[in-house]
């Protein structure tokens, strides 16, 4: 189920951020210039497509583009998650990756809400 897949990505990110909070990790000052791996950059690039998707949908009146975008974003996040440990011994990289996943969570949440769906914090 594509909706479940996207919602699961959101819930997984929420879980990562809860764990960071439990560990007392303050990532607000994370240095995102440390994000240089292919999975990190692919996730960033994918998130940056949301405004273009919204504009495309507004001009074409074809909302299905948003569902494809949401699935792609969830797929890219899951790939990033498999390849890059978010919370690690490297404190600076951990903070940078936490900022990245927080941005991904925001992007997924906005995408789900645009489609009239919930963005669950857990599943």
pLDDT digits (tens, 9 = 90+) for 58-98: 999 999 999 999 999 999 999 999 999 999 999 999 999 99
pLDDT at 106 over 90: yes
Q: Is 27 helix (H, G, I), strand (E, B) or coil?
A: coil
CATH number of 2-114: 1.10.730.10
Domain assignments of the chain as residue spans, ordered by start? 2-114
Q: What is the pTM of this model?
A: 0.93
- Reported as a single tens digit per residue, the pLDDT across 38-62 is 999 999 999 999 999 999 999 999 9
3-state secondary structure of 40: helix
Count of alpha carbons within 13 Å of 62, Cβ hemisphere only? 7
CA distances from 34 to 62, 71, 90, 92, 118 (A): 37, 26, 11, 8, 32
> What pLDDT shows up at residue 3?
85
């Amino acid at each position: 189920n594509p909706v479940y897949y996207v919602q699961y990505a959101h819930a997984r990110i929420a879980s990562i951020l809860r764990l960071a909070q439990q560990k007392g990790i303050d990532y607000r000052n994370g240095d995102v210039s440390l994000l240089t791996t292919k999975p990190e950059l692919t996730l960033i690039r994918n998130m940056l497509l949301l405004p273009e998707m919204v504009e495309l949908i507004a001009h074409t009146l074809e909302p299905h583009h948003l569902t494809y975008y949401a699935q792609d974003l969830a797929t890219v996040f899951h790939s990033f998650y498999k390849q890059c440990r978010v919370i690690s011994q490297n404190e600076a990289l951990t903070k940078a990756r936490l900022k990245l996943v927080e941005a991904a969570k925001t992007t997924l949440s906005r995408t789900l809400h645009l489609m009239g769906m919930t963005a669950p914090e857990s599943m």
